[in-house]
Structure 1
């Protein structure tokens, strides 16, 4: 493979570095530049050789773990038998022929600003396998478990963009969510052979709380006031350096120090996380809820140059909303877990408000070409409704099980075409009958938006070149 396509040239990926080399000082040490010398040099040479220029584009990726029910949201089947179609009815939107669930009335008002994809599918029905298949672009070696054997799409983007995007001290790959995001393997966000330094900077504190802060995102104020005391400052930075895996060589220490100083002293970093800068009206529109305020924080980050922000929207029962016996913490709506319809009556209005606020906000701020919004889970739910005794309610209740053969997702912004439905499933929502695609086609579209050559390769632990995506093409209906 030519050097232009092999991302590390003839140089092997040096493997994992200490997680704390990325997260020291509360995580903001996740800036690009904690790099390994040979890796950085090869990456810079490769970028120059293919003549790519950085684009000021970003993606907000909303992850709905557990698998949202496509037949209660974006792919309604009102003419299907009663044990398929469910309780809710479709409603018309401001785009003729594009219908959504009656529980998504705010979606209906702005359907011209998003597209729905109803025909992406895959073959992995376990949560772990579904996460890994969707988030890496590859069939996982093991169909269960959440530890990646191939890098997450976000880590690959982070590595590609590391020295092509200036983020003013902010990390170039951020994940927002509950405390469950602190373990990178909970949602298969691991970077496999790319090394821990490409893991996302993860924030689990709640921006909906009045005392929200990202701990230690700057050096001590007394140190900031006397930056001329370079001995003291460099001592702090050297403490971070000692966490680096010494089996790998460092890039120039001068360069490392320069980037670390930028990170630790950046007002841009502090301002990005200062939610008080947003008006009450904007915060109210997003919703005074963990989902809504994380969505707003995601916009603040991409607005300031972060190219990839993932927002995990898992448990709606937070921010003062108590979980009923019929509810469940994620989107995994088995009958044993929850009452599918009663849970949806609480979950989907919160979702409706949050997602439409994100879309309206991007358009209102003129970010609808710069920022691409993608909203999906790892798979859909079984078209046929099952009945089972709930583990908490102790009574029979409806639910849907895992179903990777059909799913629906939303995309908005990115300068893409909107106000359309792409693909279709059969009359029972079982499988695609038009424009069948894989998750790789979605990722090829995302990488294209970010200016990333998704045909390039990274070297795995054995030195073999592994393409970012082994297959997949941008979705032409969106471009």
Structure 2
């Protein structure tokens, strides 16, 4: 019976072609295995970024974005567009206050925003038609067809942040370009067809933060922030030893490399190791390095501390940070289904669980 040859993914490495004095099974194993070893996603991302810069792609400009994503959002007539001159049936029950922008008034419960209105822009042209209760991916991709309830391919559309990660990258080496705090996967858009390399770095376990229940009530506990903690017995030196071993494996296929990419990969593997266990990224998530006066200014609320970390991340070199400001993993904290107006006493319903705690 003749031998039937089936095509496979490693043919480009010629695994079945003898090269000098070889042990076929071992050589084949190493050559096939190393095809995946060199494709590790994080070094690959760093390499792609450097290649884009060399071939005329965009270079980091230092600009960054922090997206406060409320997974729904408050009613415009109860916040920044209160319509004080309209009858009660056309507006909310709250009073209004003047702002730093002459002639513009906002809800009485937004005094700090009112004092800074001359420094930012209120966009009044956002169109949510067709989002069908899931505006997360629609808005975060700027694509109306990215609607998972109506389009099975909605997850293929990349987040704006993922596009930034691909074409701009991080502003500083050793930092992820796209970072997100996530309560539920349905609250974020991901890399889509750009690939998982451009998904957000999920930061929930990277910092010690207050833990709250699904209505925002503090539990008295904090997260461990242990994503950077090495496994027991695995030191930084041991990780470097493992990388050294990987480099020795890489030498087996250098003779097959005609464009120098394997030599470059050494550098990007090092950057990947430094990103995970080096000091820059860990320091950005460590709020204890922030002066107590600044921490007090932001406040102890979960969302406030996430905002402070977001500021530290962009200062350290991340480009796009999204904060999923919700407590509930399903439809989101701001999805009040009609119970919008808070009973300002202690019921904790409607906006009472969303507005800053200091004003409730």
Report if TM-score (shorter chain) is over 0.5. Answer: yes
Distance of 1:125 and 1:341 partners within structure 2: 26
Distance of 2:159 and 2:358 partners within structure 1: 25
Count of matched residue pairs? 288
Q: Is the 8 A contact 1:106 1:352 kept in 2?
A: no
Distance of 2:358 and 2:122 partners within structure 1: 16
Q: Indicate yes or no: 2:227 matched with 1:231.
A: no
Alignment of 1:217-228 (within 5 A): 217=228, 219=230, 224=235, 226=237
Spell out, residue by residue over 1:428-455, the C-alpha distance to the aligned partner (whole angstroms, 9 max, x if none). Answer: xxxxxxxxxxxxxxxxxxxxxxxxxxxx
In the superposition, relative to structure 1, how do residues 51 and 292 fare at CA in structure 2: closer, same or farther (>3 Å)? Answer: closer
In the superposition, relative to structure 1, how do residues 330 and 344 fare at CA in structure 2: closer, same or farther (>3 Å)? Answer: same
In the superposition, relative to structure 1, how do residues 274 and 46 fare at CA in structure 2: closer, same or farther (>3 Å)? Answer: closer
Distance of 2:72 and 2:190 partners within structure 1: 18
Alignment of 1:208-219 (within 5 A): 208-209=209-210, 212-217=223-228, 219=230
Give the structure with the higher percent helix.
Answer: 2
RMSD between aligned alpha carbons?
Answer: 3.5
Q: Is the 8 A contact 1:77 1:85 kept in 2?
A: yes
- Structure 1's unaligned 5+ residue stretches are 1-20, 22-28, 239-250, 318-327, 354-479
Spell out, residue by residue over 1:1-47, the C-alpha distance to the aligned partner (whole angstroms, 9 max, x if none). Answer: xxxxxxxxxxxxxxxxxxxx9xxxxxxx985x33497xx3xx65654
Q: Is the 8 A contact 1:207 1:294 kept in 2?
A: no
Bigger relative CO (Cα 8 Å, ≥ 6 apart): 1
Please name the residue that 1:121 is paired with: 127
Please name the residue that 2:336 is paired with: 333
Which structure's CA Rg is the greater one? 2
SS in 1 for 2:155: coil
Give the structure with the higher percent strand.
Answer: 1
Q: 1:160 aligns with which of 154, 163, 167?
A: 167
Please name the residue that 1:96 is paired with: 102
Spell out, residue by residue over 1:250-304, the C-alpha distance to the aligned partner (whole angstroms, 9 max, x if none). Answer: x634244222232234111221111111122211221211100000000111111
Q: Indicate yes or no: 2:118 matched with 1:112.
A: yes
Distance of 2:234 and 2:305 partners within structure 1: 31
Please name the residue that 1:268 is paired with: 280
Q: Is the 8 A contact 1:103 1:345 kept in 2?
A: no
Please name the residue that 2:144 is paired with: 139
In the superposition, relative to structure 1, how do residues 119 and 89 fare at CA in structure 2: closer, same or farther (>3 Å)? Answer: farther
Q: Is the 8 A contact 2:95 2:108 kept in 1?
A: yes
Q: Is the 8 A contact 2:178 2:200 kept in 1?
A: yes
Distance of 2:247 and 2:71 partners within structure 1: 37
